[in-house]
Chains A and B, each alone.
Chain A
Amino acid sequence: MKITINGKEVLLVENSARTIDSLLEELDVSQRLYVTVELNGDILDRPAHETTPVAEGDVIEFLYFMGGGSSHVD
């Protein structure tokens, strides 16, 4: 199965049970519990990760938290 993740084509073994949530685990995506997932142009609500299947040709973007700038943290 071929999908696009953050602009790159990715080949996955066929798995009809694959959901967005299991894909995050399968790919060991960083910030897995907090990452925002955009599927074919729509941002998914987090609870939908577990129920949304991954399909051939899907275009997926993982959007990560980034802080940065000045540094006063302590």
Chain B
Amino acid sequence: MLTDSQIERYSRHIILKEVGGKGQQKLFDGRVLIIGAGGLGAPIALYLAAAGVGTIGIADADDVDLSNLQRQVIHFTPDIGTPKVESARRKMQAINPDVKVITYKEWITAANITAIIADYDFIIDGTDNFAAKFLINDACVLAGKPYSHGGILQFDGQTITVTPGESACYRCIFPEPPPKDAIPTCSQAGVIGVLPGVIGTIQATEAIKYLLGKGDLLTDRLLTYSALRMKFREVPLKRKASCPVCGDNPTITEAKDELDAFTVCDLEGA
């Protein structure tokens, strides 16, 4: 049951016919895991906490660095040197003390991902490297967990939601990670600071819609965004029978680390 102050806090939600008191209760009962407390994770964590998602997990092994602050808006200047998950938890609970935040100050790997995602309804990929992106896809597909993929690069971003067994997964698009050392790293390629705000907020919207059971998820279509041209495009996709993880004869049957891609961050401009 919502208290009087909760009814006031969530009044702009509750007045929406797609949400109402019942939907707000669904958000309270919802459990969302955010992997990465960086550029994408920052707006995701802030908006999910503000929205009253009852349990939010957040995973990242890093500490806040000065060069993060241009885009990772959940971290403030006095947080430099603090674990990102701790910095994020403080802001989330300051926005909304109703929310339970579970922190994982560790990198997500094949050794821990399956056990961690088991506790959540919806997973959000806010990571910066292809090893993690492929691992999250594989683990979520194998566990049947819906998740949101997000990627950003310079002035471009893209996102897709995956409902395993029903819609196209990341490996349906990209069967394997790009080879290590084939491409420049994040710090070389750069990213405009507002970009993860746009893509991360879309990813948070998907989590909220999933918990509410309302609307149409961003499945079987890759949404791409160009900040320079200020254009969104949708590329229709479908599941691929030859997908190595969700296809007819999968070759990937357990989550494993893509060691070759482990230091790969992002690629030259699209």
Which residues in A have some Cβ–Cβ distance to B below 8 Å? 6-7, 30-31, 33-34, 36, 38, 41-43, 45-46, 61-74
Contact = CB atoms under 8 A, between A and B. Distances in A.
The majority secondary structure among interface residues of chain A is: loop
Given A70-B37, A71-B187, A73-B263, A36 B128 contact: no
A64 B242 contact: no
A43 B242 CA distance: 10
B173 interface: yes
A61 B221 CA distance: 12
B38 A69 contact: yes
A69 B125 CA distance: 9
Contacts of B60: 70, 72
Interface stretch (B8-16, B21-29, B111-119, B148-156): B148-156
Given A34-B182, A63-B173, A69 B267 contact: no
A69 B268 contact: no
B215 interface: no
A32 B195 CA distance: 24
A44 to B, nearest CB: 10
A69 B182 contact: no
A18 B157 CA distance: 30
Nearest to A43: B240
B233 interface: yes
Given A31-B267, A36-B173, A73-B129, 7 more contacts: A46-B175, A66-B152, A68-B39, A68-B196, A70-B41, A71-B186, A73-B264
Contacts of A65: 130, 151, 174, 178, 183, 266-267
B235 A72 contact: no
Contacts of A62: 270
B246 to A, nearest CB: 13
Contacts of A66: 151-153, 156-158, 266-267, 270
B191 A68 contact: yes
B153 A68 contact: yes
Interface in B152-177: 152-153, 156-158, 172-175
B62 interface: yes
